[in-house]
């Protein structure tokens, strides 16, 4: 999500949600690029919870690139891309994003 007004150089929030438990992981980030996503997945998701079977994302460039595809392929993770419109197609993320924005 973002960009937001900068706070200590952080302008974005990267969010991951487990669709079964609804557990949400969110971190502030200074940039919104594939390097941030790869590091987040490795250190916050894969190392703590194991590799998921599937990752659902929007079609942002930080999710649609060769490094991201390689990470998923190497860990046998399927990548599904949600439709761009309407945002309800990725409903759980939209609910969590709305709640995070409300808290901020």
Facing residues of 57 across strands?
A: 81
pLDDT attached to residue 93: 77
Evaluate whether 80 touches 102 at the Cβ level (below 8 Å).
no
92 vs 33, 81, 95, 99, CA distance in Å? 22, 14, 5, 11
| Top CATH class, 32-103 | alpha beta
pLDDT attached to residue 58: 87
Per-residue pLDDT of the chain (104 residues; tens, 9 = 90+): 889 999 999 999 999 999 899 899 999 999 999 999 999 999 999 999 999 999 999 889 999 999 999 999 999 999 999 876 665 556 777 788 888 888 88
Closest to 42 (Cα-Cα) out of 53, 30, 50: 50
* DSSP for 13-59, written as a single string: EEEEE-TTT--EEEEEES--SHHHHHHHIIIIIIHHH---SEEEE--
């Amino acid at each position: 999500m973002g960009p937001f007004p900068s706070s200590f150089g952080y302008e974005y929030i990267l969010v991951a949600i487990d669709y079964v438990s609804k557990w949400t992981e969110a971190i502030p980030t200074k940039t919104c690029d594939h390097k941030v996503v790869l590091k987040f997945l490795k250190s916050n998701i894969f190392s703590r919870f194991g590799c998921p079977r599937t990752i659902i994302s929007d079609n942002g460039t930080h999710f649609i690139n060769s490094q991201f595809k390689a990470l998923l392929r190497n860990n046998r993770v399927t990548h599904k891309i949600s439709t761009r419109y309407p945002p309800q197609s990725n409903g759980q993320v939209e609910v969590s994003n709305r709640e995070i924005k409300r808290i901020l």
